[in-house]
Chain A
């Protein structure tokens, strides 16, 4: 892509994304008094990550059957409190294994 076209796009995407992340961390810095808002902010990570994981994880490999295998392995290991890396790699291996099994059937 022509750099004269590309650079304004780069500046806008990077600039907007940075401002969204930066303003709440720098401008709003006083202690939050409201118990509701404090509770809300405590729960936000779980709400966001839950919503980002499902249903997307079921479609992320291009084949629902292999994705379900990977998800099942990830859920089982994560539930037992295994580390991020263990869960992520085991999920990848489960998907690869499921793909191999599907090829053999």
Chain B
């Protein structure tokens, strides 16, 4: 039990460090958009989603309707539904309804990615260990950015911005190297995403929605070309 918790913490630390830099930027921007430091931190403590939070700031500043706010969050964050759906069957018997309700709160891109890269089924002890430092990192980074963001030299702020992508690459590249199927899916997701950004007209689709389309298309392609066998599923 204890070992699983420690392993979760260990896997959560790089996520927390990545979050520090991203939430730092969020804190700076939130205060710039007219929120107080406490309000910025409250958003981070309750939402724990980078793209959704960044998208909420201009809407708040513009006094947008609550319906528009809800729809924006739904579009940008709908990818989490896919992740929860994907992770659900991988949870073990220790993850009862109450545990699932608690874990849902922290099923972020990175936590999902790390949890689903674990061999076999994952249990609550590991997941709680995995959740705790990223949440602290996300909240404290926001606090630091909101309170003191402008004090940090610009070159450090911009260098921190790549941390989260380095983490993503460390998650997707090793299995892409080993399995042709994963390599094809990853490259398809990348190619579609680049296309969505570059092709005129299509690039007006919001980034949250574009990611859903890219992910569904690339994963469907993988499922058609390389259906998994029962023994492949850890």
Contacts and interface: CB of A to CB of B under 8 A. Distances in A.
A67 B163 CA distance: 11
Interface in B207-222: 210-211, 214-220, 222
B226 to A, nearest CB: 7
Given A48-B189, A52-B109, A83-B170, A39 B73 contact: no
Given A9-B56, A43-B223, A48-B215, A74 B165 contact: yes
Contact of B170 (A6, A63, A77): A77
A50 B160 CA distance: 20
Contact of A39 (B36, B70, B222): B222
A55 to B, nearest CB: 5
Interface in B59-115: 59-60, 63, 66, 69-70, 73-74, 77-89, 91, 97, 100-101, 103-105, 107, 109, 112-114
A74 B189 contact: no
Given A39-B227, A41-B89, A1 B162 contact: no
A74 B84 contact: no
Interface stretch (B1-9, B11-19, B142-150): B11-19
Contacts of B97: 26
Interface string B139-183: 000000000000000011011111111111111111111000110
B23 to A, nearest CB: 15
A52 B211 contact: yes
B158 A99 contact: yes
Interface residues of B, number: 107
B136 interface: no
B14 A83 contact: yes
Give the size category of A's interface with B. 35 or more
Interface string A61-98: 11100110011001101110111111111111101100
The 3 tightest CB contacts between A and B, nearest first, are A50-B189, A91-B166, A39-B223
Interface of B: 11, 13-15, 17-18, 21, 34-36, 39, 42-43, 46-49, 52-53, 56, 59-60, 63, 66, 69-70, 73-74, 77-89, 91, 97, 100-101, 103-105, 107, 109, 112-114, 116-117, 155-156, 158-177, 181-182, 185-190, 192-194, 197-198, 210-211, 214-220, 222-224, 226-228, 232-233
14 contacts: A13-B53, A20-B77, A22-B104, A25-B91, A26-B97, A44-B82, A47-B219, A50-B218, A60-B162, A63-B158, A74-B170, A79-B173, A88-B167, A91-B165
